[in-house]
Structure 1
Amino acid sequence: MASAPLPGSGAVFRGYNFANTWEQNAPLTEEQKTAITALSRAVAERPFPPNLAQEQSSGKDGNTVVSANDTVNQAGINVVLVNTHQFYKWFKDLESAMKSETEEKYRLYVNTLVEHIQICDGILEQVDDTLNLFNELQALQQSVATKTKTLHDACDRLLLEKQRLLDFAEALRSKLNYFDELENVSSNFYSPNMSVGNGHFLPLLKRLDECISYVESNPQYAESMVYLVKFRQLQSRALGIVRSHVLSILRSASSQVQSALRSSGPNKASVAEGVEESVIYVHFKAAASELKPVLMEMESRSSRKEYAQILMECHRMYYEQRLSLVKSIVQQRISEFSKKEALPSLTRSGCAYLIQVCQLEHQLFDHFFPSSSADVSNMAPLIDPLCTYLYDTLRPKLIYQANLDSLCELVDILKVEVLGDQLNRRGESLAGLRPILQRILADIHERLTFCARTLIRNEIANYRPSDEDLDYPARLEQHAEKASDTTADDNSTVRTWYPPLEKTVSCLSKLYHCLEPDVFTGLAQEAVEFCSISIQNASKIITKKSSPTDGQLFLIKHLLILREQIAPFDIEFSVVHKELDFSHLLEHLRRILRGQASLFDWSRSTSFAMTLSPRILESQIDAKKEIERTLKTTCEEFIMSTTKLIVDPMLSFVTKVTAVKAVLSSGAQNKKEDSVLAKPLRSHAFAAPEKLAELTQKVSDTLQHELPKVMAKMKLYLQNPSTRMILFKPIKTNIVEAHVQLQSLIKSEYSQEEMKNIGIVSIQHLQSQIDNLL
């Protein structure tokens, strides 16, 4: 039923305006309006709780209850308000009705809550009883849990104790096992059926080693030393069985080989066959297959002293058996080589034969002792005696060998072919040969050094030249004639060398790659020094027999060749000589005798000890620098002698003029001297124009006749044009300079007519004339 409209009033109007303004200023969105509508529908009618729904409809006595809301609604129906008083009265009644309605609602709600509280109190009492029961149950459960944990802890302790006792018992049993093994191992090793071939032998030996190691590492146990002694006795017995077994197998194989060799008769098998399947190796390879298991066990345990000793014993027995078979064959074959071949061929054949033998022996040794064969030094007791046969055969022949070529060939065979090629190419299996080959090589080096020193002393330092050796320049002229008829070669050129030079170059070229650098350096320095001295001595003889020019050119030629030939040697020709000097001894003794020094004053430098102490004098000799110095001096002497040969009159004249001018410049001592020296130069007898004409003509004739002879000798001695040019250039310069000085002097002291009569040539013409002689 719609309510009656309210009378218009200012408050209502203002409220409407405010609401309208609010709606306009803050309009709701469609979503918000939809939400408000849904909310309004949801709260429009709110049902009472089920327990209060009946109370709304009827009271306790069954009468109908009219709610305050109905009263309010009824009070607001059909009310007509005429004035403000009626409105206030109506509003007061409405407010009273609403208040009554509100109080009724809360009163009913309070009654409902009181009833709920009563119900909850009853429930709480029941809950408290239940909680008390739960607390009692929890206390009981805690007590049971405590007892259970105590029981579990006790069980765990018992289990741990049981496990500890079991472990202790097991440890005790494991320790006692090592001691208990004594009886088991003893009964097996002392059994008559026990042998190395028995399958139980090696496992028992291993168990015995374990027992010994354990007892050794636990000496604190009772009677451990007693057990250790017994275990070691068993080990010694076992290793003795092994030794006897190995020796028996080796001897059996050796006997089979010897029987096969004897049955072969004159066609005896030889190691030299180089065939691994030959009888001397086949039987031993079969023995190696039989012994390999036990020998490998010995090698695997060689870190222990006992097994290292038995392994060495096995090696020794093997060496003895092999040497008994091989040594006679090797000795016989090397003896055959020695009877049929020369020393170089014997060395080459003997080394090749030993290489073959050593390679086969190393392969056989590897079959027996795989681990030991890795160290080649283990085979030294077998290889060294075999190699000694070759050494003993070669050494007597080396002692009597004096030929440098043969000794150098031997060095090349051993150093290049054998040590450098074959041994490196075939690997470590031949390393056992290296010591004996190096020993042979050292003997050859020693013999080669001795022979080289003998050659240097006899053929170079003490060389006595024959007349033919010093027949210069005839030897060169004969060689030049032969060279013009046939094509000259290096050998024919070398034959023109002075013999000590040829022997020096030949000796050094042979020794350079054969000796150690230090040894070669000493020999080279000594040979070059003696060769240079020998050439200089020969030059002096040639100077007396032929001419100074021949002597100088001979020396220049051979020193140049010597310098050129030693240049490729990459060594220092400087050697430090040390010697003891006692030259101060006499002076010290004189001072002592004069009382200036005490014989027993050990604290002073003039004491007896210091007096007898020698001084060490060191002197450094560089043969190469000595050659350079001698060559330079000789070239300068040749240049000056040739210059003097051509222009000596000019040089003498210029020297005299220079002396006269020097006296004039120093001032005359008296009037007589002043009158003599003040005369013009041409008024002097030695400087007359006629004398100068004779001088220039003589120089010109010498230049035309003597200089070509010198040039011819230079070509004869020095085949290299650049070398001749180096020598001739300063000669030409000196000749031209002498003419320049003379011309300058003539121009300043003589007239043009006198100059023309003197007949001196121009410098350009002189240079052209000299150049034409080249």
Structure 2
Amino acid sequence: FKSAAGYVSRVHIVQQRALMLLRDLIVSKCTSIGTELQQSDTFTSYIAPTATGPGSSSTPATSSSSTSAPGAESGTASVSKVTLLGLTEILNANFQAKLDEVLPLIRQLEERCIERKDSQIYLNDILGVYYDSRLALLSPVLGHYLTSCCAQSPEPLNTLVEQGIPNLLSISVDECKLFHQFFSLETVNTHLKSMVEGIGMVVYEKFRAYVLKVDDLKELSSVIDNLRNTLLLGKLKSAGEGGTMLSGVIHKMIQDTQERFIFRASMFIKDVIGQFRYNFPDMLPYLRTVGDTTVALEKDAHFPTLNNTLLLLNTMHKAVEKGVFEGLAQEAIGVCTDLLVRCSDIISGQRSKEKIEFPREEANLFLVRHLLTLRESIAPYDANFTFVEKWVDLSSLVNKKVTIQEKTRDTKKDVEAHLKVTCERFIAECTEKLLANWAQLGQKLKKESGPPTSGAVQLQAGAASQLEALLKEYATVMNATKQQVKEIVMILKYYLPNPLTINILFRPIKGHLMEAYQTLYNGLNTYIQDYNRSNRKAEPLTALTPKELLQWIEEQEKSAHSGSPQETAPRPLAFDLNLKAPSPAPAATPTPTPPAVAP
């Protein structure tokens, strides 16, 4: 009894030696199985380089079927017929058949771990060797398969995702089943997760190497969409335990692809959208040329700067997180707006040198067309385009003070502001040109008429020659005005596809013209009446009545609406222009209010 403690210690030592021998036997068996399978003909012929290269017929297939039975011996399968999943099925079957010899010993060790927690260290050693053996067996096979598939594909990254991920899920499911055949304790599941993630890292390393080589934003967006579908459509969940363990690897793939996408998007804004390398000849396809019979630009005919911006926004919207999208979109829209304004200035300067009646007006409509498309395109995005600009103010550096200034900007409102200012400028310039001739005629009419006396206008001279010259000048001005109205309607129809937008821009011009003409018509009518009274004649007033002129203008406006289906056109303007009409003639100083713009 006194020596019991010593005997207990000896028994414990003997048990530890027995457990060590048990561990060494299982470890040796697991290692020898892995080495044997790696040296088998099936394994070596599959991963060995072929003489015909990766594009030959011996390239591994994507099918999960195999011509060899799961229990077939190594080397009996032809490499031209065996597939990735077929090969792994053969390797797993052989691995299981050989490791089944020590399965009773593994069960004994697990029972010992339940009774004594200190025995867990021996099981952990076995799990470590099992992990290394399985990874050394599967990694070359999976890596060779991925390399072969990507080598013969024009888009290797998408091929890796579309073919590599499903095969990875199938391998992880088989690996979980094989693992649970030998290890039943729940405490070893962490080792299983590490092993499945290790197999997934083989795909991840190949994936990352290809991601860093891809510059195309569409391809990167497509990859992100495919990876998200793997997560969101239940593909991982349907793969069971193995799929759940791979979720971390899939998330890392998405994050790496998004980082690459963000970098390439920033470079796209800088090198493609923001790099202004256009001259006036590059803008000619988007302008109306003299003698051109085309009545309107095609709906999708837009300057490359705008097309590139819209392409980026559309590609980026679903590829990155909302906050990242807002930041990049603000930068892209701001750069695009500034460059479109610059293009408008170049067009205005160059057109002024040519024999075109409305050079600046066409430049304004070029800008209006593109800003309307930009506004319409960014409206559906549920994003906040407001951001804060911060900069260091060094103006007070003399007083040894440096302040940080900040300013809040809204990119969407900036587009609206540019659009509003451009529309107002177009209306004002068109109105000024139309009323310039009427102002000269009004000056002459006032000169030939005396100051009002008791509400009547006395004529200084009532000679027929003066009346004839006045009416002839009126006819010349009227013909010139009609030609100008036709030209304005023509350029409106050419640049703007929406009849409602044309109406909104033309309505203030029409209102200003009619108000000026009403004043002039009243003066002419009074002049004729006084002439007839003083000369005892009955000369008729041959000028168009305001109603007749309005009808003619409306007919011209209706002609602009023909062939322009409103339902396919972009959303019209939605702000008040609030223009002040220039004085039509010195005889009167009207201050008309333009018609309200329909939302």
- Among 477, 489, 498, which residue is 1:720 paired with? 498
Query: Structure 1 residue 731 and structure 2 residue 544: aligned?
Result: no
Label 1:277 to 1:527 Cα distance change in 2 as closer, same or farther (>3 A).
closer
Query: Structure 1 residue 454 and structure 2 residue 267: aligned?
Result: yes
**1:588-737 alignment, distance < 5 Å:** 588=400, 611=401, 614-651=402-439, 693=471, 696-737=474-515
Label 1:518 to 1:336 Cα distance change in 2 as closer, same or farther (>3 A).
same
2:180 aligned partner: 366
Query: Structure 1 residue 434 and structure 2 residue 232: aligned?
Result: no
Label 1:277 to 1:562 Cα distance change in 2 as closer, same or farther (>3 A).
closer
Q: Pick the structure with more helix per residue.
A: 1
**1:498-554, Cα deviation, whole Å (9 max, x unpaired):** 111111111211111112212211111111111111111111111222311210111
Cα distance in 1, alignment partners of residues 145 and 295 from structure 2? 53
Q: Which residue identity lines up with residue 615 of structure 1 in the other structure?
A: T
Query: Structure 1 residue 351 and structure 2 residue 165: aligned?
Result: yes
Cα distance in 2, alignment partners of residues 622 and 473 from structure 1? 29
Query: Structure 1 residue 465 and structure 2 residue 278: aligned?
Result: yes
2:333 aligned partner: 528
1:415 aligned partner: 228
Q: Do 2:173 and 2:241's aligned partners in 1 also have CA atoms closer than 8 Å?
A: no
Q: Which residue identity lines up with residue 99 of structure 2 in the other structure?
A: A
Label 1:182 to 1:329 Cα distance change in 2 as closer, same or farther (>3 A).
farther
Distance apart, 1:298 and its partner CA: 6.0
Label 1:627 to 1:653 Cα distance change in 2 as closer, same or farther (>3 A).
farther
1:7 aligned partner: none
Higher relative contact order (CA 8 A, sep 6+): 2
Q: Do 2:365 and 2:492's aligned partners in 1 also have CA atoms closer than 8 Å?
A: yes
**1:32-111 alignment, distance < 5 Å:** none
Cα distance in 1, alignment partners of residues 294 and 159 from structure 2? 42
Cα distance in 2, alignment partners of residues 347 and 682 from structure 1? 91
Cα distance in 1, alignment partners of residues 290 and 235 from structure 2? 51
Label 1:379 to 1:684 Cα distance change in 2 as closer, same or farther (>3 A).
farther
Number of equivalences? 503
**1:444-500, Cα deviation, whole Å (9 max, x unpaired):** 2222222222222222222222444311665689997599xxxx9xxx643x21111
Q: Which residue identity lines up with residue 264 of structure 1 in the other structure?
A: G
Q: Do 1:696 and 1:758's aligned partners in 2 also have CA atoms closer than 8 Å?
A: no
- Among 221, 244, 247, which residue is 2:24 paired with? 244
Label 1:299 to 1:439 Cα distance change in 2 as closer, same or farther (>3 A).
farther
1:383 aligned partner: 196
Q: Which residue identity lines up with residue 397 of structure 1 in the other structure?
A: Y
Q: Do 1:323 and 1:382's aligned partners in 2 also have CA atoms closer than 8 Å?
A: yes
Distance apart, 1:418 and its partner CA: 6.3
2:147 aligned partner: 335
- Among 545, 548, 559, which residue is 2:350 paired with? 545
Distance apart, 1:258 and its partner CA: 4.7
Q: Which residue identity lines up with residue 369 of structure 1 in the other structure?
A: F
Query: Structure 1 residue 763 and structure 2 residue 546: aligned?
Result: yes
Q: Which residue identity lines up with residue 162 of structure 2 in the other structure?
A: R
Q: Which residue identity lines up with residue 713 of structure 1 in the other structure?
A: I
Q: Which residue identity lines up with residue 642 of structure 1 in the other structure?
A: C
What secondary structure does 1:401 align onto? coil
1:444 aligned partner: 257
Query: Where do 5+ consecutive residues of structure 1 fail to align?
Result: 1-175, 190-230, 589-610, 659-663, 666-674
2:208 aligned partner: 395
* Identical aligned residues as a percent: 25
TM norm structure 1: 0.57
TM norm structure 2: 0.72
Q: Do 1:359 and 1:429's aligned partners in 2 also have CA atoms closer than 8 Å?
A: yes
Label 1:310 to 1:383 Cα distance change in 2 as closer, same or farther (>3 A).
same
2:75 aligned partner: 264
Q: Do 1:579 and 1:616's aligned partners in 2 also have CA atoms closer than 8 Å?
A: yes
Label 1:519 to 1:406 Cα distance change in 2 as closer, same or farther (>3 A).
same
Query: Where do 5+ consecutive residues of structure 2 fail to align?
Result: 43-73, 352-358, 534-538, 558-599
1:575 aligned partner: 387
Moved more, 359-368 or 503-512: 359-368
What secondary structure does 1:773 align onto? helix
Label 1:575 to 1:294 Cα distance change in 2 as closer, same or farther (>3 A).
farther
What secondary structure does 2:556 align onto? coil
Larger radius of gyration: 1
Cα distance in 1, alignment partners of residues 186 and 82 from structure 2? 26
Cα distance in 2, alignment partners of residues 368 and 476 from structure 1? 81
CA-based RMSD of the aligned residues comes to 4.1
Label 1:681 to 1:347 Cα distance change in 2 as closer, same or farther (>3 A).
farther
